[in-house]
Amino acid sequence: MYQFNVDRAIEDCCRWIQDWFAENGDGCQAVLGISGGKDSSVCAAMLVRALGVHRVIGVMMPRGEQSDIADSQLLCKHLGITNCTVNIGEAADAVERAVSAVTPLSNQTITNIPPRIRMTTLYAVSQSVNGRVANTCNLSEDWVGYSTRWGDSVGDFAPLAQFTVTEVKAIGRALGLPAQLVDKAPSDGLCGKTDEDNLGFTYAELDRYIREGIEPEPEIKALIDRKHKLNLFKLKMMPAFPFDPNAD
């Protein structure tokens, strides 16, 4: 039976972060978006553990008014990290208006504009301070493609990408994060629904399937398998035509 060793996971991940920065940005700061959810909270705490509090910058990016912005502020205060707030409301509204003037926008398009603007914002902050952008996605989300391509799906390095939601929560508790951040119902903060509402299954079902091969009900298994297959492209580099100048 699979047993998750949370202490070893934290130790190994922190060492990996340290090694990555030594090779790819020695002395640079880690920059990440702070949403107030478990993933950004746990990622920030792990970065503080690995690099020190003065090398982590949190960026809060509400679109206009954000109902749970207090959770983001709580996380920054709890960890003591440098942080800033960049409101993306005007930028997102401007893009919507400009594109809708030439073509109708689908609901999915409207949902995905803010995450892409947030990633642009993160890179603007990061480049300005010679930082490195942390991707905060976890394995469970990536498994079923629950991320926005070229939005929250990207970054320079990904500390949590091989941990399931269940494991991320365990890490958060072990790192002493407030329970209201670790156990908060996961939501993209965009459509008004929880992740599990949108997905059609629970992360507990998904995580057992990923880690232990315990299959959920046939309908749910089929849904998970379909989402996994359809969204594998999000985890791959952009394909390029394999031109061979020496071919006959």
Domain ranges for the chain, please list them.
6-235
The 10s digit of each residue's pLDDT in 218-247 is 999 999 999 999 999 988 888 999 999 998
Rg (alpha carbons) of the chain, rounded to whole number: 19
> Residue 224 and residue 47: Cα distance in Å, rounded?
31
Question: Can you give the pLDDT at residue 189?
Answer: 60
Which residue type occupies 135? Answer: N
CB 215 within 8 A of CB 209: yes
Least confident of 31-45, 132-146, 224-238: 224-238
> Residue 167 and residue 186: Cα distance in Å, rounded?
14
pTM over 0.85: yes
* Average pLDDT of every residue of the chain: 95
Crossing angle of helices 107-128 and 89-100, in 10° steps, is: 130
Collapsed DSSP state (helix, strand, coil) of residue 57: strand
Question: Can you give the pLDDT at residue 197?
Answer: 86
Question: Can you give the pLDDT at residue 188?
Answer: 60
In this model, does residue 130 exceed pLDDT 90?
A: yes
Least confident of 16-25, 52-61, 131-140, 231-240: 231-240
C-alpha 54: how far from chain center: 22
For the chain, give the percent of residues with pLDDT over 70. Answer: 98
Which residue type occupies 84? Answer: C
The 10s digit of each residue's pLDDT in 175-188 is 999 999 999 887 66
Least confident of 75-84, 107-116, 184-193: 184-193
In this model, does residue 39 exceed pLDDT 80?
A: yes
Query: Whose structure tokens read 């942390």?
Result: 134
- Fold observed for domain 6-235: Rossmann fold (3.40.50)
Question: Can you give the pLDDT at residue 191?
Answer: 59
Mean pLDDT over residues 200-222, rounded?
96
- Residue in 210, 143, 192, 188 with CA at minimum distance from that of residue 39: 188
Question: Can you give the pLDDT at residue 190?
Answer: 57
